[in-house]
Chain A
Amino acid sequence: MTAAQLELTGITKQYPGVLANDHIDLAIASGEVHALLGENGAGKSTLVKMIYGVVRADEGEIRWGGEPVKITSPSQARALGIGMVFQHFNLFETLTVAENISLGIDEEHDLKQLTSEIEEISEKYGLPLNPHQHVHALSVGERQRVEIIRCLVQDPKLLIMDEPTSVLTPQEVEKLFETLRRLSSEGCSILYISHKLDEIQALCDRATVLRHGKVTATCNPKEETPKSLAEMMIGSELPVCKRTAQARDSEVRLVVRNLTIPSPDPHGTDLKSINVTVHRGEVLGIAGVAGNGQKEFLAALNGEIMAAQGRIELNGAEISKVGPTERRARGLAFVPEERLGRGAVPDMSLSNNALLTGYREDMLSNGFIRFDKVRSYATAIRERFDVRSSGIEAEARSLSGGNLQKFIMGREIMMNPQLLILGHPTWGVDVGAATTIHQEIVDLAAKGTSVVVASEDLDELFEICDSIAVIAEGRLSPVKRTSETNVEEVGLWMSGQFEAGEGEVGHAA
C-alpha cells in the first residue's frame, strides 16, 4: 500500500460534558475518496475541523504525506494543500464570486488574473459560474460551486466536503460526483462526510464509520449493503416508517388559487400564481432547492405574509385576509424550519413554549394562565413523543435539534389540527428521531389531518407523501401522486423544467 496522504492516530477532543472524538484513527491514500459516515453528533464535524485547523486536538497525531504536522489555522491547512467546503457556506452575499474566492486565498494575487483562472477551472471541471456575479443572486448549487472553486484554485491534495449534497437537486448531485471523480483521478484525495448511504456507496472507495465519537468500523462501502452500513452507523437496525392505508379522501381541505406575492425580502423569491388543492388526510410534499420560494409559500399559508393576489381557503372559508392567530383558531398548525427562534423561544422553558401556541387547549382562565394545565400539556408531549430533556422546565435551547423538533411537532400535533404545515421537519435530525417524526406525520394524516410538508430531502418526501410538487423560481410544478412519479422527474422539476400544472391530483374514484 502506498503511503497515506493523511494519517490520523489517536485523535481525541474533549468538550465540556462530551467527548467529541475518542482516539480516532483514520488514513486516506492519495486519490482516494474516503467517506466519513455517522449520525448527527457522532463527531464528524469536530474531526474535520481539526484537520482543517479550526479546532485544536487535545491528543493524537496528524501526519501529512508521512510527516507529523501541527495544523493550527485554516490558512496553514490551505498552505499544506487541504481545502474544505463547509456545510454552511462561508460566503459573503454582497461581494462578487471572484471577490469571494479571492478572500480564501492567502498568497498575493491579482484579481484579474484570478478571474481568468476561475473561468478556466469552471470550464475544466464542469462547474459553470460567472466570476462577476454577486453571490446573493446565486442559487445554492451555484454557491457550492463557488466554495469548490475556492478550494480548487489552490490546487489541493485533499478536499474535505461536509454534507455537500443536502442542498442539491439529484441532477446537481450527479454533476458534483462527476467533478469529484475527476479530481480523484487526478490524484486529489477527498474526505466525504455524509449520512446518506446510497451516495457513499456510489462515490466512495473506503469508509470510516463514527458513532458517539468512536470509530466503529472501517470498510469498503461498495461491499456493504445500506442495511449493514446503517447498523454500523446507528448501532441497531434502521427503523422504517410504516405507511397505513391511503387516508386521503375527496373532502377538500385547503385550496390555494392564483397566489401571487412579491417577496418582502430583496434576496427572496416572488411567488407566481400558485394553484394547489389538498384533500382531507392527504400529505402533500413540496420539494425544491432552498431559496426558490418554499419559505415564502409556507409563510403565506401560515399568514405571516399576506397574499398580494389570489386566495387561500381552509374548509371552504377564505383565510387569505386574516393573520396567523385567526388561522390557527380555524385549525391550522405550523412547524417552521427554524426551531430556535421561530418554532420555539430559546430562553424559555419547554412548558412556556408549549403555552405559546397551545393556550387554546384550556390553558387560560379570564386572562390568567392555568399553570397546572400548561405543565400537564407539556408533560404529555414529552412522554408521548419521547422528548429527552431534563424536564419540562428545561430551556428550549438546551435540547438537541431532534429532541426539540419532536417537542414542537408534538405541541402542534396534540392540538389535532385540520391542516398541519411543516418546513423541513427532519433537517439536522438524526435517523432515529427522523423516523419517529415521519411516523407521527403519517399517523396524523391517517386520522384525517391534511399535511403540507416542504423538504429538500426527496427520499423523505417519497416516503411519507401521497402527492408531490416542486416550487422552482416561485412557480409550482404539476402535482403528482408519489406512486406515479419518480426522483428523476421531480429532479427535473426542481431545475425549473415543467409546464405550470393544475395543482391538483386527478382524483381516482
Chain B
Amino acid sequence: MDGFETTINILVGTIRAGTPLVFAALGELITEKAGVLNLGVEGMMLVGAVSGFIVTVLTGSPYLGILAAIAAGVLMALIFGGLTQFLLTNQVATGLALTIFGVGLSAFIGLNYIGTPIQGLQPIAIPGLSEIPVIGPLLFNHDFLIYLSIALLVLVSWFLYKTRAGLILRAVGESHDAAHAIGYSVVKIRLLAIMFGGGMGGLAGAYLSLVYTPQWAENMTAGRGWIALALVVFATWRPARVLIGAYLFGGITILSLHVQAAGDSVSSALSIIPNPVGEWILAVINSSHLLATLPYLATVVVLALISRDATKIRLNAPASLGRPFHPGA
C-alpha cells in the first residue's frame, strides 16, 4: 500500500473516529453551559446505539434508526432531568447511575441483535468536489452524519454566542440564583439543555452502531462517553475546541491501530537492537492492550496541561456547574 494513500486513510479514519465524540461532547457542552453536570453520557450513547440499530434492522432505514436513537437519548436524559431538577437528587450520583443503567439496559435490549449484519449509512460523495485529489476524499466523500456534525457545531456556536436564548442559557449556568431573581425559569431552561444533551448522546451512539462499526456489540461505546465529558473540559467549554479535541483523540485512536498493524515489519528492524531493550520495545508495540490505552493516556495528559491555566477555566467554566438549584422563598 502506498504511503500517500495510507495517510489519506488515516485522516479519513480520524474524522470518522472523532465524529461520535463531536456529537456527544457538543450535547454535554450545552448541558454544562446551563450548569448541569450529566455523567450519564456513556449510558445515553449506548441506549441510543442499540435503539438506532434495532430500528434500522426492523425498518431497513438507517435514517429512521438515527431518529430512534435521538429519541432514546432524550428519554434517558429526561430520567436524569426529572430526578435532578424536580427531585433535586445529586447530579454526580444520578449521572453515574444513568450510565450504569444504560449499560445494562442496552445489553438487555440488544441481546438478540449481536452480530446481526446491517447495511450501514453510506457516504455521500458531493458531485464535483469529491473528485478533487486529496481534499475530495478527505472532506467531500463522507456520510450524512459527518456533514451534520459540522453543521451542528456551527449551529451550537452561533446559538451560544449570537442569540438571546444562548445568552440566557449561559446566564443560568453562571448564576442560577441571579437568573431566577431576574425572572428566568431555571428548571425549564436546564431541562431543555439536558434533553439536547441526551439527543446528541443518542446520535453519537447511532454513529457508532450504524456507521463506524456498523453492528451492535455489548458496551460498544468503550468509554467514549467519558472521553466526551473530558473533551468538554479540554475545550474549556468552547465548541470549536471540541472539534479539535475530538479529532485529536480520533487521530490517536486510528494511529494506534496502524501502529499495531505495522508491528510485524517493525519487529525485524528492531531485532538489531540488543536484548533485552529491543524485546521490551517489541513487547510494548505488540501488546494491543497497551496501545489501546494511548488515546486515553493522551486525554489525561492534555487535561492535566489545560487545567494548569486556572484563569481560563474560571472564565469559561459555568460557575453553577453541578450545583442544585433550590428556588428559595
Contact = CB atoms under 8 A, between A and B. Distances in A.
Interface stretch (B79-87, B169-177, B265-273, B288-296): B169-177
Given A55-B329, A266-B310, A267-B314, A74 B171 contact: no
Interface in B139-192: 164, 167-168, 170-171, 174-175, 177-179, 181-184
25 contacts: A53-B183, A55-B329, A73-B183, A74-B181, A74-B182, A75-B183, A90-B177, A90-B179, A90-B181, A90-B182, A91-B175, A92-B170, A92-B171, A92-B179, A94-B174, A94-B315, A94-B316, A95-B167, A95-B171, A99-B167, A102-B164, A103-B167, A106-B183, A266-B310, A266-B315
Contacts of B178: 89-92
Nearest to B172: A92
Contacts, number: 55
Nearest to A104: B182
Given A54-B181, A92-B175, A103 B329 contact: no
Nearest to A56: B329
Contacts of A94: 170, 174, 315-316, 319
A103 B315 contact: no
A75 B177 CA distance: 15
A93 interface: yes
A368 interface: no
B311 interface: yes
Contact of A92 (B174, B311, B314): B174
A86 interface: yes
Interface in B240-264: none
A53 B180 CA distance: 12
Given A75-B183, A103-B167, A15 B174 contact: no
Given A53-B183, A86-B181, A94-B316, 20 more contacts: A15-B329, A55-B329, A73-B183, A75-B183, A89-B178, A90-B175, A90-B177, A90-B178, A90-B179, A90-B182, A92-B170, A93-B319, A94-B170, A94-B319, A95-B174, A103-B168, A103-B171, A103-B184, A266-B311, A266-B314
Interface string A51-79: 00111000000000000000001110010
A213 to B, nearest CB: 15
A95 B164 contact: no
A84 to B, nearest CB: 9
Contacts of A91: 175, 178
A222 B186 CA distance: 44
Contacts of B174: 92-95
Nearest to A74: B183
Contacts of A106: 183
Contacts of B170: 92, 94-95
Counting chain A CB atoms within 10 Å of each CB, which of B175, B177, B179, B316 scores highest? B175
A70 to B, nearest CB: 16
Contacts of B171: 92, 95, 103
A202 B310 CA distance: 45
B317 to A, nearest CB: 9
Interface residues of B, number: 21
Nearest to B162: A111
- Chain A interface extent, by class: 20 to 34
Contacts of B319: 93-94
Nearest to B177: A90
Dominant SS among interface residues on chain A: loop
Contacts of B179: 90, 92, 103
A106 B315 CA distance: 26
Interface of A: 15, 53-55, 73-75, 78, 86, 89-95, 99, 102-104, 106, 136, 266-267
A281 B181 CA distance: 46
A62 B304 CA distance: 57
Closest 4 interchain pairs by CB? A90-B178, A74-B183, A266-B311, A92-B174
Interface string B298-329: 00000000000011001110010000000001
B161 to A, nearest CB: 10
A90 B319 CA distance: 14
Nearest to A77: B183
Given A93-B174, A94-B319, A103 B314 contact: no
A136 B319 CA distance: 12
Contacts of A92: 170-171, 174-175, 178-179
B258 to A, nearest CB: 42
A74 B168 CA distance: 16
B20 to A, nearest CB: 30
A387 to B, nearest CB: 26
Contacts of B182: 74, 90, 103-104
Contacts of B168: 103
Contacts of B329: 15, 55
Contacts of A15: 329
A13 to B, nearest CB: 9
Contacts of A54: 181
Counting chain B CB atoms within 10 Å of each CB, which of A54, A55, A93, A94 scores highest? A94
Contacts of A75: 183
Nearest to A135: B174
Nearest to A108: B164
Counting chain B CB atoms within 10 Å of each CB, which of A55, A90, A136 scores highest? A90
Contacts of B183: 53, 73-75, 78, 106
Nearest to A13: B329
A359 B179 CA distance: 43
Interface in B17-76: none
Nearest to A46: B329
Interface in B201-246: none
Contacts of B314: 266-267
A89 B167 CA distance: 18
B279 to A, nearest CB: 49
A76 to B, nearest CB: 9
A83 B2 CA distance: 72
A90 B182 CA distance: 7
A115 B36 CA distance: 31
Contacts of A136: 315
A91 B182 CA distance: 9
A78 B184 CA distance: 13
B220 to A, nearest CB: 38
A94 B311 CA distance: 11
B179 to A, nearest CB: 8
Nearest to B181: A90
A78 B319 CA distance: 27
Contacts of B184: 103
A102 B167 contact: yes
A502 B311 CA distance: 34
Nearest to B185: A73
Nearest to B184: A103
A90 B179 CA distance: 7
B181 to A, nearest CB: 5
Contacts of B316: 94
Contacts of A89: 178
Contacts of B181: 54, 74, 86, 90
Nearest to B174: A92
A99 B161 CA distance: 11
A92 B172 CA distance: 9
Contacts of A78: 183
A98 to B, nearest CB: 10
A54 B171 CA distance: 19
B320 to A, nearest CB: 10
